[in-house]
Amino acid sequence: MTCEITTKRLILRAADPEMLRTLAEGHPIETEKARLLAQYAKCIAEPEKAPWHTVWQIFRKKDGKEEGFAQFHSLPEKGRVEVNCALNPCADSEKIAAEALKSMAKWAFANQKDLYFVSTWLADDDSPASQVLENAGFGQTFEADGMVHYEMSRPRISLLALTMCLFTALSFIPGYLFDSYPLFVTLGIVAGIFPGHLLETKVEQSASKEAATV
């Protein structure tokens, strides 16, 4: 598994177990120290799954300055995993957070083939953070107990676009035979909409069902 993510202006690096232990030993808050030590123990017990257990330190690519961290809450389960991000205050922290969260989700989908959704929670009165999540590609799904659930689904090829392109390409044959390209191209586009929409609906239902039963 790749343990480093590079974006336009950031480097996200999964902390190795010894780094986690060092962070824990130097942390002034006992609850955070205990959390880091628990993550350390999981990384030692399951080294091949360490990137899911550890914290990912966020550095600026330009000068190497550390700006905070991101992390998954657990291993992917039932096609889902939760992620969050915490940054040091800075002028462009919202842009950094959006870039970091987006890259973490992209990494997760690339490294877990049966993962369909990456999610996070947010207080319902945190408008700035909600904009960050939307900029990162997360969408609001539901609210519960003063918290809002946001989710990003696995990117996939648009079947609607594929069927429209296929039917449009096929329409050139009768268009050539009858010397009427505009008419048959239009018919091809229209003809590709229904099967494409039907296929996308089926795929979405199948992915949701699999995510609920994995």
Q: What is the pLDDT of residue 158?
A: 54
Whether 121 has a pLDDT exceeding 80, the answer reads: yes
Instruction: Write out the E strands in 3-54.
Output: 4-6, 10-14
Q: Is 78 left (phi over 0), alpha (psi -120 to 50) or beta?
A: left
* Beta carbons within 10 angstroms of residue 138's beta carbon: 24
- Catalogue all structural domains in the chain, each as residue range(s) with its CATH number: 4-153 (3.40.630.30), 159-213 (no CATH)
Q: What pLDDT is attached to residue 91? A: 84
23-70 pLDDT, tens per residue? 899 889 999 999 999 999 999 999 999 999 999 999 999 999 999 999
pLDDT tens for each residue of 155-164: 765 555 667 6
For residue 180, CA distances in Å to 81, 98, 163, 177, 192 come to: 52, 49, 21, 8, 19
Q: Is the pLDDT of residue 137 over 70?
A: yes
Q: Reply yes or no on whether the pLDDT at 14 is more than 90.
A: yes
What is the per-residue burial (b if ≥16 Cβ within 10 Å, else e) of 9-36?
ebbbbbbebebbbebbeeeeeeeeeeeb
- pLDDT of the residue at 66: 95
The token pair that represents 94 in the structure block: 């919202």
Structure tokens at 194: 């229904």
pTM score, whole prediction:
0.72
The 10s digit of each residue's pLDDT in 86-116 is 998 888 999 999 999 999 999 999 999 889 8
Q: Which residue has the tokens 């598994």?
A: 1
